[in-house]
Structure 1
Amino acid sequence: MTELRKRLPQANDSLFMFFGAWLDARGEALVPLRKEFSPGAIPALLRFVWIYKFDTDRNDFVCQLAGEAVNDAWGKSIRGRTLREIVGNVDYPAVRGRWLEIVGRPAIMYGTVNEQLAFQETWRAERLMLPMASADETIDVVLGLSLYTLQSRASGATTAASDLTEHHPCEDFL
Structure 2
Amino acid sequence: MTVLRNLEDRSYVLKDALSHKYLRPVLQHWLSLFSSGHLPARQDMDPAQFAVSMPHISLFDWDESKGDFYCRLAGEDVSNSFIKRLKTHTLAELYDEQRASSIRRLWLHAVREKSILFVLSSFENSDSRLNGRRIILPLQDHKTGAVTIMSVSYYDYDAGYHYDKHLNATPDDYKYVFLNFDELTAQAAFD
Give the TM-score, by structure 1 length: 0.78
Q: Which secondary structure state, in structure 2, belongs to the residue aligned with residue 147 of structure 1?
A: strand
Say if 2:66 is the partner of 1:58: yes
Please state how far the C-alpha of 1:123 moved relative to its aligned partner.
6.3
**Displacement of 1:135:** 5.4
- Does the CA-based 8 Å contact 1:34-1:135 persist in structure 2? no
Q: Which residue of 2 aligns with 1:81?
A: 89
Aligned CA distance change for structure 1 residues 102 and 139 (closer, same or farther; 3 Å)? farther
Q: SS at the partner of 2:95?
A: helix
Q: Structure 1 vs Structure 2: percent identity of aligned residues?
A: 19
Pairing 1:146–2:157 present: no
User: Aligned residue pairs: how many?
Assistant: 161
Q: 2:94 & 2:35 partners in 1: Cα distance?
A: 32
Distance 2:131 2:184 in 1: 28
Paired residues for 1:16-165 under 5 Å: 16-114=24-122, 124-134=131-141, 136-138=143-145, 140-148=147-155, 149-150=157-158, 159-160=169-170, 161-165=172-176
Q: Is the 8 A contact 1:104 1:139 kept in 2?
A: no
- Unpaired runs of 5+ residues, structure 2, are 1-9, 124-128, 163-167, 186-191
* Aligned Cα root-mean-square deviation (Å): 2.8
Runs of 5+ in structure 1 lacking a partner? 116-121
Residue 81 of structure 2 aligns to a residue whose secondary structure is helix
Distance 1:22 1:102 in 2: 14
Going from structure 1 to structure 2, the CA distance change for 1:71 and 1:170 (only over 3 Å counts) comes to: same
1:75-94 Cα offsets, whole Å, 9 max, x none, are: 24201110111122131221
Aligned-partner Cα distance in 1 for 2:130–2:64 = 31
Q: C-alpha displacement at 1:114, in angstroms?
A: 4.2
TM-score (norm. length: structure 2): 0.72
Cα distance in 1 for partners of 2:56, 2:35 equals 24
Do the aligned residues in 1 keep the contact of 2:84 with 2:94 (CA within 8 Å)?
no
Where does residue 7 of structure 2 map in the other structure? none
